[in-house]
Amino acid sequence: MIHGLKKLGFTPEIDFSLQDDGDGVYIAKWNVKERSQPTKAEIETAHAEWQAEYDAQAYARARAKAYPSWQEQMDMQYHDQTEGSRTWLDAIESVKEAYPK
C-alpha cells in the first residue's frame, strides 16, 4: 500500500499514517486537506504500476551486487593500461552477460 501511495505523490508520515492491527494495513490518519484520499482501487493500481517498474529493474539490482567494488575496478583499469590486458572490460562484460537487460 505504501508504494502505491508514494507513486500517487503522497509522502509517508507527512500526508498519511498507516496502521496494521493484524487484519491488514490501512490508512489510520489522512493529513492532506487539498486532495481527497485515494480509493483502494487507485492505490492498488498505483501499487501494481510500482511493482512492474520495480520488477523491470531486477537486472540492475543484480548487476550492482555482482560488479567488483570501485577499488577493484580501478586496480583492474590500472593494470590493463600498464600490462595491455582486458581484465576490467572482461569483468564488466561478464556481469552484463550474466544479468542482461
pLDDT at position 75 is 94
Q: pLDDT tens digits, the chain, 101 residues: what are they?
A: 999 999 999 999 999 999 999 888 899 999 998 889 999 999 999 999 999 999 999 999 999 999 999 999 999 999 999 888 899 999 999 999 999 99
Statement to judge: residues 84 and 48 lie in one domain: no
pLDDT for the residue numbered 60? 96
pLDDT at position 82: 87
DSSP single-letter state for residue 28: E
- Residue 22 dihedral angles phi and psi, to the nearest 5°: 100, -20
pTM for the structure as a whole: 0.71
Identify whether residues 67 and 49 lie together within a single domain: no
46 and 72 co-located in one domain: no
How many residues make up the chain in this entry?
A: 101
Query: Are 16 and 49 within one domain?
Result: yes
Its domain, for residue 85, covers 59-98
Same domain, 76 and 91: yes
Q: Give the list of residues 6+ apart from residue 91 with CB closer than 8 angstroms, or none.
A: 67, 68, 73, 76
Q: Which residue has the cell 572490460?
A: 89
State the CATH number of the domain containing residue 37. Answer: 3.30.56.60
Specify the pLDDT at position 52.
Answer: 97
Residue 52 grid coordinates: 512492474
Identity (one letter) of the amino acid at 97? Answer: E
For 50, counting Cβ atoms within 10 Å of its Cβ (0-12 exposed, 13-18 middle, 19+ buried), the class is: middle
